[in-house]
Amino acid sequence: MLVALILLWALLSTMSDLVASPAESLSALMDRFADGSIYRHLNATMQAVAIGFLIAAAVGFPLGYAIGRSKFLGAVFDPLVAGAFAIPRVIFFPILLQIFGVGVGAQSAMAALAAVFPIMVSTTAGVRAINPLLPKLARSLSLSPLQTVTKIYVPAMAPSLMVGIRIGFSIAFINVIIAEFFAARAGLGLLALRAYGMLDLPTMYGIIVLLAAIALIGNLALWAVERRLGNKQL
């Protein structure tokens, strides 16, 4: 499949001037690595994704858990969360730019804002899908609230927590890139769009391949963990 994609790319590049060939793009990318100019951008992007994702997880998991546990909170917040989920959250990026200034702060905030809703949604769904026997078990063993959460809920919800982590990671990643396309000091998205502006197409294709590779590998790794957890459950 991957080989087929690369062949298709090579074929397209022979037909159109607007598509740089795979070899050219990779060597342009390698040049960037060789002269070290890419590390600053790579660093900025990964930092923003990591910070944003951690904030989203720190906020999203407890909130999603609370909404899932309580029927009343669920009835109040479900439509709000669904509505917020439907809004293209990038549209709030200008405001974040004004608050945080152009830089990693704004990118991280964007990632956090975007990733928090999917994480909440999947956590809520996970709490609701828990076998009702398990909370009863916890009560009959007279576990403390903390023990109930760490020993019963978290293990039982592990698969859906992983879904939240995977989707949250992807969304955080995408939104950092979009935010960098729009305005940034450093970052791979900025670099790609700058290359487009300068019609340096090989570099642009190279960076996009790098981004796609990061996203694909991160996703596949998390997906593999998710499937293993899912198998253990059954």
Residue span binding another protein (CB under 8 A) among the ranges 34-42, 49-57, 141-149, 218-226: 218-226
Decide if 49 contacts 111 (C-beta within 8 A): yes
Fill in the DSSP letter of residue 18.
T
15 makes contact with another protein (CB under 8 A): no
Q: Applying CB under 8 A, which of residues 36, 72, 146, 234 lies at the interface with another protein?
A: 72
Q: Applying CB under 8 A, which of residues 54, 92, 100, 185 lies at the interface with another protein?
A: 92
Nearer to another protein, 104 or 174 (CB): 174
201 makes contact with another protein (CB under 8 A): yes
Task: For the chain, list the strands marked E by DSSP.
Answer: none
- Give 169's contacts (C-beta < 8 A, 6+ positions apart): 49, 53, 115, 218, 219, 222
Local structure of 233: helix, strand or coil: helix
Nearer to another protein, 54 or 143 (CB): 54
Local structure of 144: helix, strand or coil: coil
The burial of 126, by beta-carbon neighbours within 10 Å (0-12 exposed, 13-18 middle, 19 or more buried), is given as buried
Q: Which residues in this chain contact another protein in the complex, by CB under 8 A?
A: 1, 16, 18-19, 71-72, 75-77, 79-80, 82-83, 85-88, 90-95, 97-99, 121-122, 125, 128-129, 166-167, 170-171, 173-174, 177-178, 181-182, 192-193, 195-196, 201, 204-205, 208, 211-212, 215-216, 219-220, 223
